[in-house]
Amino acid sequence: MSDRAQPGAVKSLVRNDELAQIFGQFSDGWIVPGSDPTPAAQRRADIDESALDAFTVSTSTSSLDVTVQPGEAFVGGWVARDVSTDVTLPANNTTEIVLAHDVDAVYDPDSDADRDAADRVVVDTGSNVPSDIPQVVVWTVETDGSGVTAASRGAPVGPTITPEAAPVQSVDGETGDVVLDYLLSSEYTPESDTHDRYTDSEASSAAPVQSVGGETGDVSLQPLLSQTQTEFASFIETSEFETAINTQPLFLSSMVSSPLAMDAVSASSTAMDAVSTSSTAMDAVSASATAMDAVSASSTAMDAVSTSATAMDAVSASATAMDAVFESGVALSAIASVPGASQSVMGIPMTSFESQDRFDTISTALENSSMSKTQFTDDGSNNSFDRTGDNIVLIDSVNQPFRLTIEPQYAGGFKSIDGDPVSAPHIYFGGYTSFHDDDGGDDRIQGRVFTP
């Protein structure tokens, strides 16, 4: 684990600490976006900036343990931690998770073996963090007796200056709360020069609002994920949810990045019917590992996805989505049950399947799934075999001193085996047909058939 802190301690050994202290005076604290790490994080060899994820939080409705992901921030100085932190929350409570650092964590080469011996970043519940060290609330989490019911961010993501921390000294000689009713030292009179000259309709036409969330006119904004988990669970059962995922980009982005939201959506057949038939929603879901982990683990969600051509087009075109599907027996079973879904998956490039790592991943998921398994050996005594159907066939080994032809169930799918020699492993969604050109002898093909 690597922690780095430049707390801005007075007379610190690193001059940049003073710069961090100066900058920190103008904000209560803010989180650096994970997609845009600071130069400070990038130039430190002991910080893995690719792991930084804005201190996002992973929660579960069935556990009081949450995981705060790596990140960097400005909290009275610059801090970074490139590993996740597990925090245990009290039941039936509203708890603040804070980010802090030790103000005495200043590296001294005369006394510290390395920076790890000096720097210390703290991620913990507020009650466990001393009140006299720099800190900021990063999450407020609500729990019931068994797990998390809601979570909301505290410190903003992105640069922020707190007005109270850097007040304007004066405006036209005035200080404090300055109120400007009109332009000072002017003969301009608002009522006679504007309102009397233009009607409300004329003024609206002259300077219209272009759009809000893609809507114009009297705009009604759908609720974002600031609502409670109970409110959100009710909202996704309404027609307004379908409208929101298709017309509210901010809503859709917040939804696919929230584990709690995606758990609720994946468990609702109404919500998943709306999501799976929307190319806009499915493109966002397929691109999000958080969303796809929830979808691929839910039979309700995968039933909707596997029967929708729109959804399967989005899933099969996304490496993120397919990685989640291949690690889930629930998802593989749903796809094998629907010929159209199997055929869509077969459009994945052959190299994605003809590798030992991918074979082992899918094999493990299938072995741990509820699908029935049949092991087989084709010894060539029967010249042809038909293993097509709603299934997934894994070829584990091939011993082939003869000519063998294997054709996938779906044309244009994975590479067929034709001729001598061949290699294993091979994976066929929907199965295959095979033909041997001799009368038997040694064992030829060994494999497994998995059927939903």
Distance (Å) of CA 413 to CA 344, 372, 380, 403, 425: 9, 24, 24, 21, 16
Q: Where are the domains of the chain?
A: 3-164, 229-326, 372-451
Residue 8: predicted pLDDT: 42
Report how far residue 296's alpha carbon sits from residue 319's, in angstroms, rounded to the nearest whole number. Answer: 14
Report how far residue 366's alpha carbon sits from residue 332's, in angstroms, rounded to the nearest whole number. Answer: 7
The residue with greater pLDDT, 38 or 273, is 273
Amino acid at 215: E
Q: In this structure, how many other beta carbons lie within 10 angstroms of the beta carbon of residue 169?
A: 5
Confidence of residue 320 (pLDDT cuts 50, 70, 90): very high
Closest CA to 31 of 53, 57, 49: 53
Does residue 436 surpass a pLDDT of 80?
no
The chain-wide mean pLDDT, for the chain, equals 78
Q: Do domains 3-164 and 372-451 have the same CATH topology?
A: no
Report how far residue 151's alpha carbon sits from residue 389's, in angstroms, rounded to the nearest whole number. Answer: 45
Tokens describing residue 245: 């995922």
Report how far residue 394's alpha carbon sits from residue 373's, in angstroms, rounded to the nearest whole number. Answer: 11
CA 154 to chain centre: 19
Does residue 371 surpass a pLDDT of 60?
yes
Helix axes 279-287, 289-296, angle to 10 degrees: 100
Q: Looking at beta carbons, which pairs linking 44-49 to residues 24 or more positions away fall under 8 Å?
A: 44/2, 44/4, 44/80, 46/2, 46/4, 46/115, 46/116, 47/2, 47/4, 47/80, 47/82, 48/2, 48/82, 49/82
Least reliable range by pLDDT among 17-26, 41-50, 96-105, 374-383: 17-26
Confidence of residue 10 (pLDDT cuts 50, 70, 90): very low
Question: CATH for 372-451?
Answer: 2.60.120
Residue 286: predicted pLDDT: 95
Residues with Cβ within 8 Å of 189's Cβ and at least 6 positions away in sequence, in order, are: 182
Residues with Cβ within 8 Å of 36's Cβ and at least 6 positions away in sequence, in order, are: none
Query: For 173-201, what is each residue's pLDDT tens digit?
Result: 665 555 555 444 445 555 555 555 556 66
Pick 3-164's CATH classification: 2.60.520, 3.30.1390, 2.20.28, 3.40.50. Answer: 2.60.520
Task: Please give the backbone phi and psi of residue 36, each rounded to the nearest 5 degrees, phi first.
Answer: -140, 65
Residue 385: predicted pLDDT: 84
Per-residue pLDDT, averaged over 46-60, amounts to 90
β-pairing, 445-451 with 392-398? antiparallel
Task: Let me know: does 284 contact 253? Beta carbons within 8 Å.
Answer: yes
Sign of CA pseudo-dihedral 433, 437, 440, 442: negative
Does residue 349 surpass a pLDDT of 60?
no
Residue 367: predicted pLDDT: 93
Give the three-class secondary structure for 327. Answer: coil
Confidence of residue 395 (pLDDT cuts 50, 70, 90): confident
The residue with greater pLDDT, 234 or 103, is 234
Amino acid at 18: E
Question: How would DSSP label each residue in 83-97?
Answer: S-EEEEPPSSSEEEE
Task: Please give the backbone phi and psi of residue 78, each rounded to the nearest 5 degrees, phi first.
Answer: -100, 135
Per-residue pLDDT, averaged over 91-111, amounts to 79
Per-residue pLDDT, averaged over 218-223, amounts to 50
Closest CA to 68 of 50, 47, 53: 53
Per-residue pLDDT, averaged over 58-83, amounts to 90
Per-residue pLDDT, averaged over 250-270, amounts to 92
Does residue 15 surpass a pLDDT of 50?
no
Sign of CA pseudo-dihedral 247, 251, 253, 259: negative
Percent of the chain past pLDDT 70, that is, above it, reads 66
Residue 402: predicted pLDDT: 62
Confidence of residue 310 (pLDDT cuts 50, 70, 90): very high
Taking the whole predicted model, whether its pTM rises above 0.75 is answered as no
Per-residue pLDDT, averaged over 253-275, amounts to 93
Does residue 267 surpass a pLDDT of 90?
yes
Report how far residue 167's alpha carbon sits from residue 25's, in angstroms, rounded to the nearest whole number. Answer: 12
Residue 133: predicted pLDDT: 83
The CA angle 84-35-20, to the nearest 5 degrees, is 75
Task: Let me know: does 294 contact 264? Beta carbons within 8 Å.
Answer: no
Does residue 293 surpass a pLDDT of 80?
yes
Residue 140: predicted pLDDT: 95
- Give yes or no for a cis peptide into 421 (omega within 30° of 0): yes
Confidence of residue 357 (pLDDT cuts 50, 70, 90): confident
Report how far residue 391's alpha carbon sits from residue 428's, in angstroms, rounded to the nearest whole number. Answer: 8
Does residue 306 surpass a pLDDT of 60?
yes
Does residue 5 surpass a pLDDT of 80?
no
Does residue 77 surpass a pLDDT of 80?
no
Does residue 51 surpass a pLDDT of 50?
yes
Residue 11: predicted pLDDT: 34
Percent of the chain past pLDDT 90, that is, above it, reads 38
> Which of 208-217, 250-259, 423-432: highest mean pLDDT?
250-259
